[in-house]
Amino acid sequence: MFQELGSHPVPKHARNYIYCFGGVTFLLFLIQVITGILLAVYYKPTPELAYKSVLFIEQDVWMGAAIRSIHNVSANLMIITVVLHMLRVIFTGSYKPPRQLNWIIGVSLLIFVLAFAFTGYLLPWDQVGYWGAVVATKMVGSLPFIGDKLMLLIQAGTKVTGYTLTRFYALHIVVLPIFIIAFMVIHFLMIRKQGISRGL
């Protein structure tokens, strides 16, 4: 299978750096998975221990500060590369028939990446993360019709507490990875079946 995938020729029109952002995003995701697993070994998702465990990772774990920095930087780069990838798709018209479903899956993947960043921001349980989560959840709460209920669901209550931390941690390491991996597999299979769009 891997030999067949590796021998699959890249179309001439796709031998351009603007077609690389999807692959770079996938590489950054793999870096996120590896560094995330290494961080999860030492992280403790409770209000009393979360910040202390982050300090322990940075100060006492061998290469801990480097691993956390790589995780943070690759998360930011992943958002940038996803946006660039989607701009390339828009610019080249690759969202047009017969690729509309793959476009919807791609937009969903962008939402999942942003949700990863949103949930990961609170995990250090420091002042920046806490107040960032307060502001972000209040923004969600300002949405018409469903905002209040959605804010209660996200916060696991009426305000950001230890329950919010636990919920964000579960979303960050279990729920979102399952969804993003499933959607990436579908995304890649559809690209494999339909080929890379020639664009406009």
Find all residues with CB under 8 Å of 74, minimum gap 6, and list them: 28, 31, 32, 35
Give one word for 55, left, alpha or beta, with left for phi > 0 and alpha for psi -120 to 50.
alpha
Residues of the chain with pLDDT under 70: 1-15, 197-200
**pTM, rounded to two decimals:** 0.88
For residue 65, the model assigns a pLDDT of 96
pLDDT of residue 97: 84
Domains along the chain with CATH numbers: 2-92+100-194 (1.20.810.10)
Q: Are the C-beta atoms of 43 and 89 separated by less than 8 Å?
A: no
How many Cβ atoms sit within 10 Å of the Cβ of residue 175? 14
Q: What is the pLDDT of residue 92?
A: 86
Q: How much of the chain is helix, strand and coil, in % rounded to 5?
A: 75, 0, 25
pLDDT at 6: 56
**Closest CA relative to residue 124, chosen from 14, 186, 39, 2:** 39
At 21-53, the pLDDT tens digits run 999 999 999 999 999 999 999 999 999 999 999
